[in-house]
């Protein structure tokens, strides 16, 4: 979370997507996989913070796995 890519790792302009385009691609993948339909996740919310336009938090399973969310 909060990491930035090095300039050498920066994608070419041909590979850049808008946030909307990336969201559409993710939506297409989720919609096309029956195994992802109706998936629900319940675990502990940690590190919750609020800003003017979003709520940020981390979902954790209490082990070493976590998922940053906004």
- Per-residue confidence (pLDDT) for residue 14, from 0 to 100: 76
Query: Residue 15, class by beta-carbon neighbours within 10 Å (0-12 exposed, 13-18 middle, 19+ buried)?
Result: exposed
- Residue 9's pLDDT is 66
Residue 43: what pLDDT? Answer: 85
Q: What is the rounded CA–CA span in Å between residue 16 and residue 35?
A: 28
Check residue 28 and give its pLDDT.
93
* pLDDT, tens only, 2-45: 444 555 666 677 788 898 998 899 889 989 999 988 888 888 99
């Amino acid at each position: 979370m909060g990491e930035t890519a090095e300039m050498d790792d920066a994608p070419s302009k041909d590979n850049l997507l808008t946030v909307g385009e990336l969201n559409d691609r993710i939506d297409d993948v989720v919609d096309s996989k029956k195994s992802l339909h109706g998936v629900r996740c319940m675990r502990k919310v940690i590190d919750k913070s609020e800003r003017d336009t979003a709520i940020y938090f981390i979902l954790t399973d209490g082990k070493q796995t976590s998922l940053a969310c906004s």
